[in-house]
Amino acid sequence: MGQMLKLTAADGFTFDAYRADPSGTPNGAIVVVQEIFGVNSHIRDVADGYAAAGYVAIAPGIFDRAEPGIELDYNQAGIDAGLKARAAIPIEGTLADLQAAVDAVGSAGKVGIVGYCWGGSLAFLAAAKVTGLSAAVGYYGGQIVQFLDSAPKIPTLLHFGKQDQGIPLTDVDKIRARYPEIPVHLYDAGHGFNCDQRASYDKASAELALQRTLDFFGRHHG
């Protein structure tokens, strides 16, 4: 459904992005922010899903600053390589890449952002730091507590799994206490419950979270 294209960030860095377009007039656009596994087949599938829901979807290759074209598998080797790539990239560069993605789809209407895992944390940060966005949704962002001083400037929605081994519920409590206006949903699932390529995939939780996400974008963004 989609195509790869080149984007250029404000600092001149050029990187790949995957773009999927809806069949009819778009309801707006959504930036899809990857996990630590790159813009792999799953993230492309997610972007295709948002396109099928009526949005122009774009998934920027934010790992390109470490190494172009990284696509990792959901195993320990993939996790190790993903964490290494993430650590090699300054957050300023990542935010510049997200800004370029927002700017690239602005002609479609309002632009939202949704992210998963690392991307969930970045979606929260983008809600404070990236311009041109109308709504943000974060799935199981483990670094959100580190970004709590960056207050979202747009409507934001967060999803977490109760059995997430990497994100203690005390972290979720800190987010809720700091930003009581942000809807925070908990699911009977673990980390990565949205990804049907992971052992932690939970179909019921993924479907409920997606419906809530689409409703949220529809209210604040459509």
Q: Rg of the Cα trace of the chain? A: 16
Identify the domain containing residue 54 by its residue range.
Answer: 3-220
Q: Pick the catalytic residue from 42, 97, 117, 195.
A: 117
Residue from 97, 164, 171, 202 carrying the catalytic annotation: 164
Write out the H or E segment, with its range, that includes residue 80: helix 76-87
Tens-binned pLDDT, residue by residue, of the chain (222 aa): 699 999 999 999 999 999 999 999 999 999 999 999 999 999 999 999 999 999 999 999 999 999 999 999 999 999 999 999 999 999 999 999 999 999 999 999 999 999 999 999 999 999 999 999 999 999 999 999 999 999 999 999 999 999 999 999 999 999 999 999 999 999 999 999 999 999 999 999 999 999 999 999 999 975
Here the CATH number for the domain that contains residue 16 is: 3.40.50.1820
DSSP secondary structure letters along 132-193: SEEEEEEES-TTGGGGTTS--SS-EEEEEETT-SSS-HHHHHHHHHH-TTS-EEEESS-TTT
Q: What is the C-alpha to C-alpha distance for residues 59 and 135, in angstroms, rounded to an integer? A: 16
Is 195 catalytic? The answer is: no
The pLDDT value given to residue 222: 58
- Residue 121: HSE in the Cβ half-sphere, 13 Å Cα cutoff: 18
| Joined tokens for residue 76 | 């320990």
Check 42, 191, 195, 202 and give the catalytic one. 191
Q: Is 164 a catalytic residue?
A: yes
Give 113's strand partners.
Answer: 31, 136
Q: How many domains does the chain have?
A: 1
Tell me whether residue 191 is one of the annotated catalytic residues: yes
Would you state the pLDDT for residue 115? 98
